[in-house]
Amino acid sequence: MIDLSEKGFLGRLADVDKRILYVVLVVMLSIPILSPLGLPLTLGKETKDTYDTIGRVPEGSTVLFLAEIAAYLFPELGPQVIAISQHCFNRNLKVVYVSFRQVEGPTILESLVLSKLDFRGAKYGEGYVDLGYFAGLEVSMAAFASDIYALVKEDYRKNSLDKLPIMKNLKTAKDFQLLVIIGVADEPVRQFGRFGIPTVVGTYAVVAPEVYPFYAAGQVKGILVGIRGAAEYELLVKKPGLAVASMDAISVSHVLVLVLIVIGNVGYLYERRRKK
């Protein structure tokens, strides 16, 4: 019979010092990081739809890529940007990177993303360009969407737009054949949705549930959800990286959280019955 007295086993279990939990968490996560488990990864429909949408864009088309990466988002969004960008270059698509939300986006792009890509012969200024960051969020998105040259005078590397062949036929958002949104989707969909450009979203897991209404309505054709979506996409483009390497630890962390929820609730329910 389990001891349900005042400080019985289950009662004490519910009172464990949180610092012990922290140590348990770190130790449990370290194990799969140091010694990967190799758990299988399935392909979600949202990820497959993202891949297929990019796959349907004709070669030579131009992609508007909102690379809204910040330092605290890099573990989730960095691998997404790398994987989707690689897919675009594999398909000989031209990519115009820009940022309207994250002031750090262009810096992270230049120092941590572009160096990891195989451009398949595409040259800067012809096959891809980094236009930099523009403050104002929806204001700058609306400004960009209606007249690119009125807003943007130079790219992030201080090249004048008229010296960049990739920008030659791009006057408004209508001139793009694909929109890739990395990060929060609300404002970009509000500002670019009316142009009817096929849109895919790669977002961090916290806001991913909020993108599903756009996905269900067809405003967004595919979603990459956090590190899981990034890992699936890395496998699709055959470029396994940071995301795939993290999935075993994700499994362990989730099992730990679930076990703690169960233990916590079992203890709680027993205490409640005991008090009755």
Partner 1 sequence: MSFLKRREFPLAVTAFVGFLMLFEYYFVVKAASDLAIQIRNWAVILATFALGVGTINLMVVWGKDIRGKKGRWYLSIWGIFMFFAMVVTGLLGPVIGTDPSFVWIYNNVNLALDPTMYALNAFFITSATYRAFRTRSKEAAVLLLAGCLVMLRNAPIGLVLWSGFEPVGSWIMNVPNTAGFRAIMIGGAIGLVATGLRTLLGRERGYLAGGK
Partner 2 sequence: MISLDLGVWIGAFLTLAALSFLYRENIVFEFSEKTFIGASLGFAVVIGIKNIISMAWTPLGKGEYLYIIPLILGFLVFTRVSKKVFWVSRYPLAIIVGVGTGVSMRGAIGEQIVTQIAATSLSVITPDVWKNLDNAMMIIMVTTALFYFYFSKEFKNPVPSTAQQIGRYVLMAAFGASFGSTVMARMTLLIGRLQFLLLTWLGLG
Q: Which is nearer to partner 1, 93 or 152 (CB)?
A: 152
DSSP 8-state secondary structure symbol assigned to residue 126: T
Stretch that binds partner 1, among 56-64, 114-122, 153-161, 235-243 (CB under 8 A): 153-161
Give the gyration radius of the chain's Cα atoms: 23
Question: Where along the sequence are the contacts to partner 2 (CB under 8 A)?
Answer: 19, 22, 25-26, 29-30, 33-35, 72, 74-76, 103-104, 106-107, 132-139, 141-142, 151-154, 158, 186-187, 189-191, 193-194, 204-206, 208-209, 213, 216-219, 225-228, 242, 245-246, 249-250, 253-254, 257
Measured CA to CA, the distance from residue 31 to residue 19 in angstroms comes to 19
**Is 44 among the residues that bind partner 1 (CB under 8 A)?**
yes
Query: How many chain residues interact with partner 1 (CB under 8 A)?
Result: 69
Please list the residues that pair with 160 across neighbouring strands. Answer: 154
Interacting partner of 39 out of partner 1, partner 2, none (Cβ under 5 to 8 A depending on kind): partner 1
**Is 45 among the residues that bind partner 1 (CB under 8 A)?**
yes
Interacting partner of 34 out of partner 2, partner 1, none (Cβ under 5 to 8 A depending on kind): partner 2
Question: CB neighbours (10 Å) of residue 117?
Answer: 18
Residue 14 burial by Cβ neighbours in a 10 Å radius (0-12, 13-18, 19+)? middle
CB of 182 to partner 1, least distance (A): 16
3-state DSSP call for residue 93? coil
Measured CA to CA, the distance from residue 10 to residue 136 in angstroms comes to 53
Cα distances (angstroms) measured from residue 138 to each of 27, 142, 212? 43, 6, 21
With tokens 């790219």, the residue in question is: 155
CB of 246 to partner 2, least distance (A): 5
Cα distances (angstroms) measured from residue 173 to each of 150, 170, 178, 179, 261? 13, 8, 10, 9, 47
| Binding residues vs partner 1 (CB under 8 A) | 14, 16, 18, 21-22, 25, 39-42, 44-45, 70-72, 74-75, 103-104, 106-108, 110-112, 134-137, 139-140, 142-143, 146-147, 150-151, 156-158, 186, 205, 209-210, 212-213, 215-216, 225-226, 228, 247-248, 250-258, 260-261, 263-265, 268-269
